[in-house]
Structure 1
Amino acid sequence: MFPRPIQKSPPWLQASYKVLLPIALIIWLLPLIGIAVTSVRPSSDLAAGNYFGWPTRFAGVENYTAVFQNSNIGWYILNSFKVTIPTVIGAVGLSCLTGFALAVYKFRFNLAVFFMFVAGNFVPFQILAIPVRDLTLKLGLYDSITGLVLFHVAFQTGFCTLFMRNFIKALPFALIESARVEGVSEWKIFRHIVLPLMRPAIAALSVLIFTFVWNDYFWATIMAQSADVRPVTAGMNELKGQWKVAWELITAASIVAALPPVAMFFLMQKHFIAGLTLGATKG
């Protein structure tokens, strides 16, 4: 069912693995390395056609300073936090409740309701652009932080419910039955027994949803038009001029925009890995 560990493979396969893995890693990292190098490259290099060579001088401080001076990227990053953090709290919080209900209670149409949550993940989000835009206009939520938060919570709750329901389903049901025998209410069972056991899953899901929402570009450009609402992914378009594209500034802004989700992952790395691997082994 699971791939055989490389240590148990033949010697020739282990040697090939040790040679090919660094090569694959370098190829995978090449675009990121290119962005990082371009972000510290002076504009004169790009004007002279030096796109892939070594920079003639280090212009990192100049480029990164110009990003904050020539654009509202600081405000856009703040907007991204205003959208992402409430979305993570709302989607993960709702999914804990819905996942608990679908995993613990046996009622009619339980499976049908669960399939409805799952089915929403398979709908191509591009076909929903016009209906969602029209709905937000009618509700007065278009071009607002509240509209973006509510939209992301609605769309992310389906995936979160799938994740949480399957996680709670794997927990020992004897704990819940024992609490019920002792007369503990359902809310206290959820609050004091199930929720503490869900901490690894909550951490893993929070990192995933934070990354999904922070990196969203499609809905950020459709549902946010003003600079007061625009997240950082859409706000970087401000660095494109009419006649010239300052790639050194765009790449520097991309590095700055990527730092929060990277920091989020490293801060929650231990819990993230524990949440993804819990239940993968026996014992």
Structure 2
Amino acid sequence: MTADTHTTTPLDEDPAPLAEKTARRSRRPGRFGVHIFLMAVTLGFLAPLLLAVYASLRPYGETAEHGYFSFPKSLSFDYYRQAYSDSGMGKYFTNTLLIAVPAVLITLFFAAFVAFAVSRLRTRGSMVLLMLFTAGNLLPPQVLVTPLYVLFLKIPLPWWMSDSLTLYDSYWAIIIVNVGFQVGFCVFVLSNFMRTLPKEILEAAIVDGAGVWTQFWRITLPLCRPALAALGTLEFTWIYNDFLWALIFISNPDKLPITSSLNNLRGQFFTDYNLLAAGSVLVALPTVLVFLLLQRHFIAGLTLGSGKG
């Protein structure tokens, strides 16, 4: 008696693992190319910052003689101490915080109210209202420089709010302008984010007797924490780096924000660019610190709701 023996051949094997291996091999060159491209873009963005840090650690005489891309003979933090003291950054940092922090908080506060009314409440003309807020961001801010300048000179303020007794030459002028220009973008982002929240949560709250304020403050707003953190990071960076509005609406040099302190490091006949690089790095540190502190919430705010229709 002979037993039938069946020998397996490659054709008898399950083709699924083979197909997966083939697809995996075909994806490797593509992923490798994507990684190379991302690394090149990252280096392109970091190159100016790295060059500024490198120049700020070297004496100007050394770079003037050998160039910025030469090998350093000595590195020190002397320029950072000199930049902080010569430009008076401590005072300008305080001025910037007095402008940026209230502006960000007021912007998010008003934007959250409008976004809730547009996205969660059944009101007539909500889409038109959202379009108007969004269209406000399309208007170039330079167009409103002259009308706002004339208007702020005519709006009175009490002595404890402005030394000039008008809105001009006060922190409130810059805060109001930044809030006006940034609230539209925040409303657009928050309204889209609120639409991704489950409607069943609000319906259950309404059944339990929750009013509109409870629905907004205790239910919707806590769920928008990632989006608020992401917007807070962006808004703080944009308002912190603003220079145009302070240059127009503030005449007292002691009230100028941190971006203007770099002008104090420029000489009339000579400018030490290594010293200026050290000052630029010091000015950029607060925004980097805010991003690092809110990085997890910032990334979550950008990705949450992206897969929902």
Mark yes or no: TM-score above 0.5.
yes
2:100 corresponding residue in structure 1:
84
**Displacement of 1:43:** 2.2
Q: For 1:6-25, what aligned pairs fall within 5 Å after superposition?
A: 10-25=27-42
Check 1:9–1:230 CA distance in 2 against 1; reply closer, same or farther (3 A cut): farther
| Whole-angstrom CA distance in 2 between matches of 1:164 and 1:121 | 15
Q: TM-score, normalised by structure 1?
A: 0.90
Q: Helix, strand or coil for the counterpart of 1:228? A: helix
1:104 corresponding residue in structure 2:
120
1:3 corresponding residue in structure 2:
none
Give per-residue Cα distances to partners, 1:104-125, cap 9 Å, x unaligned. 2222222221111000111111
**Displacement of 1:76:** 0.8
Q: Helix, strand or coil for the counterpart of 1:48? A: helix
| Whole-angstrom CA distance in 2 between matches of 1:78 and 1:247 | 25
Q: In the alignment, is the contact (CA less than 8 A) between 2:104 and 2:235 conserved in 1?
A: yes
Q: In the alignment, is the contact (CA less than 8 A) between 2:149 and 2:248 conserved in 1?
A: yes
Letter of the 1:137 counterpart: L
Q: TM-score, normalised by structure 2?
A: 0.83
1:172 corresponding residue in structure 2:
198
The runs of 5 or more residues in structure 1 that have no matched partner are 1-5
| Whole-angstrom CA distance in 2 between matches of 1:219 and 1:9 | 53
1:64 corresponding residue in structure 2:
80
1:36 corresponding residue in structure 2:
53
**Displacement of 1:49:** 6.1
1:256 corresponding residue in structure 2:
282
Check 1:194–1:138 CA distance in 2 against 1; reply closer, same or farther (3 A cut): same
| Whole-angstrom CA distance in 2 between matches of 1:62 and 1:9 | 53
Pick the aligned partner of 2:171 from 114, 133, 145. Answer: 145
**Displacement of 1:102:** 0.9
| Whole-angstrom CA distance in 2 between matches of 1:97 and 1:20 | 41
| Whole-angstrom CA distance in 2 between matches of 1:227 and 1:252 | 22
Q: In the alignment, is the contact (CA less than 8 A) between 2:63 and 2:70 conserved in 1?
A: no
1:51 corresponding residue in structure 2:
68
Q: In the alignment, is the contact (CA less than 8 A) between 1:42 and 1:55 conserved in 2?
A: no
1:235 corresponding residue in structure 2:
261
Pick the aligned partner of 2:208 from 182, 198, 204. Answer: 182
| Whole-angstrom CA distance in 1 between matches of 2:71 and 2:25 | 42
Identical positions, percent? 36
> What is the alpha-carbon root mean square deviation over aligned residues?
2.0
**Displacement of 1:151:** 1.4
Letter of the 2:199 counterpart: F
